Amino acid sequence: MKVQRSTYSLRHRLIAVVGVLGVCGLVLVGRAAHLQLISPDFYQQQGDARFLREVPIPTSRGMITDRNGEPLAVSSPVESVWANPKEVLQHADQLPALAGALGIPAEVLQQRILQKADKEFIYLRRHMNPASAQAVVDLGVPGVYSQREFRRFYPHGEVMAHVLGFTNIDDRGQEGLELAFDDWLTGKKGSQRIIRDRRGRTVENVDLVQAAEPGHDLVLSIDRRIQYLAYRELKSSLIEHGASSGSIVVVDVPTGEILAMVNQPSFNPNARESATMDAMRNRAVTDVVEPGSVMKTLTLAAALESGKFTPDTPVDTSPGYMTLPGGHPIRDFRNYGMLTLTGVLTKSSNVGATRISNELTREHQYDMYQRFGLGQPSGSGFIGEVQGVLRSPNEWGPAEKATIAYGYGLSVTPLQLARAYAAIGNGGRIHEATFVKGADSPSTQVVDPVIARQLMTMMETVTGPEGTARRAAVLGYRVAGKTGTARKAGGGGYVANRHAAVFVGLVPASNPKFAMAVVIHDAQGLEYGGGAVSAPVFHHVMEGALRLMDVPPDNIEQWFAAQAKRKAAALAAAPRPAPVAVTVAAPAAPAPASAPAEVLR
């Protein structure tokens, strides 16, 4: 059987191939035209989705300044290095170089990245110097990037630590005024759309979604100069007397603004990793103390208000001790005999304060203490401030009523003491305490201005020659104040060799500008009382503060007398020229005309 072969045609095959290619070409051209001219948006969005990112715009925290505009807390720009663990692990051979640039052991870095291997973000190191962070990024390790952040810096270190507090690594307030005013200081982050290439580098800023808003600045009532004075003198006193801790509060009398608040021990908020919790407490508002004899001033305020007493009313303190019902003994330093009401304050007589208290009702005594802010918040808004302990008068027995009159059986903060005495200096009007300059601080009249003036005159005797606070006196200024020395409780009772030394004073007494409370704990040695330990601190701080604030002297006679005495002492101590011995010789023959004449000195 004969098989017939089909005829092969090259020409037909070429036509078919060309036709197919032509149709494909037309399809591609048509598709390209459709994408470019008719519906480009969809594919543009798909492409952008692979490279377009919306990133946050960091913003700085508001600056904190003192009342004169000096920076106390500022935010500095830093860089934080982060990575995409999945991408970095694909280039594990570059981890040693990356670890070296970050200052992290290679094993630690690898372990951290492996723990987050299923994530797309991990911080490698926060708050780096921008130049150091750029050096890390310049290594070119895939998946490693940096972003701008801000870090808080405190130029004055431990001097301002307890007032300002600090922020955490995310720049949010954690303690002090940084926490109390966190919402005010914190800015609002913005956001923008950018295009990044495959290596994470920003190619183009596409669109601003939301502008960043920096935090508001905060102007404090604190005066940096007085703060430094208080810090220096408190630290020196603790070293001199071997004390364990202490606090100082300085208040502006007319406004209630806090001008200084310092504590010891302190810490550096710029390097607080090694700080203890004990050092980080703002003791001026978080710790309480039995105030001792500084309470006698407020007890005498109740006595004057009762109408039963005047500053000259006699009070018999003989024989220098007494026993309350129940066997509770009360003693004075010695037998002061008959004193006036003023003398009870001058000599700080416990027996006198008790006998005055016996003439007052529990309710009146309690009401007076409460009006002066004891047992209540000061209004400062400081986070963690305690209100102290002032028990209801219904809980007072005869012993409690007496001991509270001279400073035991209640607990107060140094800020409460400064605020109460500031009210006396302010004509009996008490302000809410504030850390903000120019704040509208509410005030209340707590005692008649006449009584307030009487108390000021009585307190001046405490710093005079016969008083317990002679070391608080400031040359050229009238000083009013009161000492207190209280045994500290512990082990089920009061400990014999542990004391709180307290002094609260006002200056100048004729028109008070400053109220200052000093509390020092556990002074060692023979001198441990308020007059010996705390009063000199008041003297040194106020001597400098009055000069810094240009407060004119109100004891001009004393100032001139002291200046004259100082000049006289300087003249007496000045070296006198030695007498010149002159010898009279017998007349000699005249000298030749060419010889020089002798000069006698």
CA-to-CA distance for 410 and 292, rounded, in angstroms?
9
DSSP code string of 101-119: HHT--HHHHHHHHHHTTT-
Specify the DSSP element, H or E, that contains 41.
Answer: helix 41-51
| Contact (CB, 8 A) for 522 and 499 | yes
Mark whether 594 is an active-site residue. Answer: no
Task: Work out the burial of residue 87: count CB atoms within 10 Å of its CB; fewer than 13 is exposed, 13-18 middle, 19 or more buried.
Answer: middle
Which residue type sits at 276? T
Of 373, 159, 370, whose CA–CA distance to 256 is shortest? Answer: 373
| Contact (CB, 8 A) for 461 and 450 | no
**Catalytic option among 293, 349, 357, 380:** 293
CA-to-CA distance for 343 and 87, rounded, in angstroms?
83
Alpha helices in 169-223, H assignment, sequence order: 176-180, 182-185
CA-to-CA distance for 497 and 576, rounded, in angstroms?
52
CA-to-CA distance for 83 and 144, rounded, in angstroms?
4
CA-to-CA distance for 421 and 328, rounded, in angstroms?
30
Long-range contacts of 485-492 (CB under 8 A, 24+ apart): 485/292, 485/293, 485/528, 485/529, 485/530, 485/531, 486/289, 486/290, 486/291, 486/292, 486/407, 486/408, 488/290, 488/521, 488/522, 489/290
CA-to-CA distance for 153 and 136, rounded, in angstroms?
24
DSSP letter at 511 equals S
Q: φ, ψ for residue 338 (rounded to 5)?
A: -85, 125
Which residue type sits at 41? D
Q: Show which residues are catalytic.
A: 293
